[in-house]
Chain A
Amino acid sequence: MARDKITKASVKRFLGYAALVFFALVFILPFVLTIVTSFKTLPDIQQNPVRLWADPKYGWTLDGIRGLNTSNVRLPRWAFNSVVVTVSVVAGRLFFDSIAGFALAKMRFRGRRAVFGFVIVVLAVPGVVLLIPKFLIMKELGILNTYAGLILPLMFDAFGIFLMKQFFEQLPDEMLEAAAIDGATTWQIFTKVALPLAAPALIALTILSTAGVWNDFMHPLIAVPGNPDLQTLPLGLANIRAAFGQAQPWNTILAGTMLATLPIAIIFFIFQRYFVQGLATSGTKG
């Protein structure tokens, strides 16, 4: 009886592992293939599209990486633009979203409900619908094909406001009142008391925004249509196949995708503890 139970449990465990490993391979192998292919030669890629090791006949090569800095394919430039845009937008969002979230959560002012209602309505608007008029507004403001055009429209983000408001609402009023009684101004209460306590929410907002902005394709597509100098990584990569015409140097194309993914991957692996922690605290009771 007891032995029966043990074998049953171990079969179950084996099946569980087998399923998990299978799915993990499905999810991870394309990335492994991408990395390996970036360092293969073109004939090798054509002959062995699945092999996770360079054919010794052809050997490894850095041609793929070298192909990323030419007149058509300007990965360093795209990466620079992506960094400028991502850093500016995330910094702006952290600032605007936290002050607005704080005001909506903890301050009483006329129109507060209306402002929050407006934020919720905006949250529901699908981005696709805004393509054309966003272009028009950027044109009218004269920020089309500029960094301002890439950055400003992304900076105002209803989701972040909502996130920060939800978080600030959890802070006990007594704590803020105590600071007020000690003579702190609202600004001091916000910067010295509320913000430090909001660190987890700010980290979450930073991670989500960084990934979102770094990977965003649609906005740069319409914001800088006439200025190749301002293309970001997704925009440059989306056009990379066209840049090569008929020949498709997949080692270069995949090296580009690999390098574009790398920064986000690093951030993800450093901060994933916060994802896992968030999940853990939300209930691993069982």
Chain B
Amino acid sequence: MVAKDEASTEIDRPRRNRPLLPRRRSRTRSASRSENALGWIFTGPVVFGLILFVAIPILLTVWVSFRDWNGFVSPFDTPYIGFENYSKLLFEAGIRQTDFARSIRNNFYYVIGVVPMQTTLALVIAVILNKTALKGKGFFRTAYYFPSITSSIAVTLIFVFMFQTQGAINAVLPFGNINWLDNANGLIHNALGVIGVHQPPAWAAGIEFMGLTLWDWFAGPSVAMFAIMMLVTWTTTGTMMLIFLAGLQSIPPSVEEAATVDGAGPFQMFWRVTIPMMRPTIYFVVMLGLIGTWQVFDQIFATNFGGPRKTTITPAFWIYFQSFRNSEAGLGAAIAILLFGVIMIFAFLQRCIIKSSGEL
């Protein structure tokens, strides 16, 4: 009976209000005060560091985006110009607006190319790796994941080497020598060329939005951008595959056994069982991909520095270029804020989806 009493008091004791590391006189005021102090001593340095290198920079970006700042002088000596940087990017016709539109267009094609490619490839590989009773799974998993842990710059250089006109890719492909990295032609334009459309129809050449004609908006990714998309897909698929593998292993085997008993073939199994069971993981990977692909920078810098004919500039690259090479840091900050908005929308969507799928 005594033991039972002790047990019940243990349970009844309100856990939340109890200090988790009780000193011998844990209930006294001095003890809780020292826990307060210790907590702040433990977390203070990182809070200070994160405020200094993340929180203040965000506020500074917003503040600088309203100033005419060249990046050299102190921004505190520069004039306040209101929304001028933003309107140059969004509303005033001119090279700033056209370049911003180009960067958005290029990155948009990059996103809608890379995200489905890496997601599908990663899922297919993960399913094969997970399902079949094969030996050497560890080796294959290592092989697929390895590109993901290597430096983006090193990998980019390897791809630049392979995508040269006299390079490995052309030597392997049967199309003759394509000048991949200096080719500004859009893939959709190229495809239209195959069916005989070489010139824009009048309506597509006539209508302009943000300094680009409809014909330009629907150019598709340039051949150079396409090469970068291949490179990135190759690099990131391994990470996505690991996430999918973890997801696949959480599918209870009984579900698949039941489907087999009911006579499901491998394709039915994939479409009717695996895909529905993996929906939360797929959402997660897609959102991760969306957030990542809107920030592509390293590969752009190390392949073509935005060329040929600005068909590989992206907002992230354009922030760097305008701020540090073109001495328009105020404008760069405005691009950063706009890009931040785009990424936040996707991050918010991700959060909502994870929350709702977590409740299922």
Contact = CB atoms under 8 A, between A and B. Distances in A.
B157 A253 contact: yes
Given A13-B133, A122-B55, A156-B49, A20 B140 contact: yes
16 contacts: A27-B147, A30-B162, A50-B168, A96-B45, A103-B39, A118-B50, A131-B319, A137-B52, A137-B56, A158-B54, A177-B22, A186-B38, A214-B151, A264-B150, A285-B249, A285-B253
Interface stretch (A54-62, A63-71, A109-117, A196-204): A109-117
B21 A34 contact: no
A26 interface: yes
A87 interface: no
Interface size class of B (residues with CB under 8 A): 35 or more
Contacts of A177: 20-22
Given A156-B53, A237-B154, A264-B151, A254 B295 contact: no
Contact of A217 (B238, B294, B301): B301
A143 B331 CA distance: 25
Interface stretch (B57-65, B91-99, B185-193): B57-65
Contacts, number: 300
Interface of B: 19-24, 32, 35-40, 42-43, 45-47, 49-50, 52-58, 60-61, 64, 71, 75, 125, 128-129, 131-134, 138-147, 149-155, 157-162, 164, 166-168, 171-172, 234, 238, 242, 245-246, 249-253, 256, 291, 294-295, 297-298, 301-302, 315-316, 319-320, 323-324, 329, 332-333, 336-337, 339-340, 343-344, 347
- Give chain B's interface secondary structure class: helix
Contact of A16 (B134, B246, B336): B134
A134 B20 contact: no
A192 interface: no
Contacts of B168: 33, 49-50
A27 B152 CA distance: 15
8 closest A-B pairs by beta carbon, nearest first, are A109-B39, A156-B49, A103-B42, A133-B57, A133-B60, A16-B132, A286-B253, A257-B154
Interface size class of A (residues with CB under 8 A): 35 or more
Interface in A234-286: 234, 237-238, 240-241, 250, 253-254, 256-257, 260-261, 264-265, 268-269, 272, 275-276, 279, 282-286
Interface of A: 12-13, 16-17, 19-20, 23-24, 26-28, 30-31, 33-34, 37, 46, 49-50, 96-97, 99-100, 102-104, 106-112, 115, 118-119, 122, 124-137, 152-153, 155-156, 158, 161, 173, 176-177, 180-181, 183, 186, 189, 211, 214-215, 217-218, 221-222, 225, 233-234, 237-238, 240-241, 250, 253-254, 256-257, 260-261, 264-265, 268-269, 272, 275-276, 279, 282-286
